[in-house]
Structure 1
Amino acid sequence: MSFIQTELGAALVVLIVGFLPNEVWRVLGVLFGRRIDEDGLWMQWVRAVATALLAAVVARLLLVPNGALVALPFWLRAGSVVMGLGGFLAFRRSVLAGVLAAEALLVAGAWWLGVGG
């Protein structure tokens, strides 16, 4: 049995190939991030792009769902988006609250409709 096939070998491969390359970028991000002006033009652009990407993902999940969302009707998916936005705004712009509110409505709606397992 070669070293790679052992549990220790597999753990080392994951550490070397998966963890360390990502950690280098995290450390560099922390070091260079301290000097970035949060209200600068560059950060405004980054926030705008991030917001646009998030809106595109939500629109795709709503209009062209895949996986388990295909079985749920449009009105339930749209209602969960509205519920998520309400949770986000109700809890001081908390993304976690918005996601939990939307997910709660999706799960409750799927259960009520008898969709899924």
Structure 2
Amino acid sequence: MNGWTYDAIGAWWWPYVFILLTGWLPTDIWRWLGVLSAGRLDERSPAVALARTIATSLVAAVIGRLVLAPGGSLEAIPLEIRIAALATGFAAYFWLGRQTLVAILFAEVVLLGVPWALGIL
């Protein structure tokens, strides 16, 4: 093959360079731009509010996809249990003082404990 594809070069080091060029570099450019410009932006500016809104919606979309259309071993867990785990984590987050780690632990207990108790896992 030719060009800049994963199989383009047969050297042992090429997969590592390919990962750096296609995965790390494009992501880190935006991270460094964010770091460099963060001190210059007003926290209450419309641009920062828009960036927060977009970031939050992307996280929500990923969580929604994982719950409603999962892949891999998560497919073995019934939809009702996945939704119950999401609701449990959401409720724990608000009722227990907005502690993210605690909410994740509550959701994981439901997501893994209920299928295990039912013999699904």
Compute the TM-score of the two structures, normalised by the length of structure 1.
0.68
Residue of 70, 76, 79 corresponding to 1:71: 76
Q: Given the superposition, is the C-alpha separation of residues 115 and 95 from structure 1 closer, same or farther in structure 2, using an over 3 Å criterion?
A: same
Tell me, in whole angstroms, the C-alpha distance in 1 between the residues paired with 2:107 and 2:33: 35
Residue 36 (str. 1) matches residue 38 (str. 2): no
Q: How does 1:1-117 map to 2 (within 5 A)?
A: 26=31, 28-62=33-67, 64-67=68-71, 68-116=73-121
* Identical positions, percent: 37
Residue ranges of structure 1 left out of the alignment (5+ in a row): 1-13
* Alignment correspondent of 2:6: none
> SS in structure 2 opposite 1:115?
coil
Q: What amino acid is aligned across from residue 39 of structure 1 in structure 2?
A: R
Q: What amino acid is aligned across from residue 97 of structure 1 in structure 2?
A: V
Compute the TM-score of the two structures, normalised by the length of structure 2.
0.66
User: Deviation string for 1:61-113 (max 9, x for gaps)?
Assistant: 22x43342211111111110111101211233232222221111111112112
C-alpha RMSD of the superposition: 2.9
> SS in structure 2 opposite 1:66?
coil
Q: Given the superposition, is the C-alpha separation of residues 57 and 22 from structure 1 closer, same or farther in structure 2, using an over 3 Å criterion?
A: closer
Structure 1 residue 25, shift from structure 2 partner: 6.0
Q: Given the superposition, is the C-alpha separation of residues 52 and 29 from structure 1 closer, same or farther in structure 2, using an over 3 Å criterion?
A: closer
> SS in structure 2 opposite 1:88?
helix
Aligned residues: 112
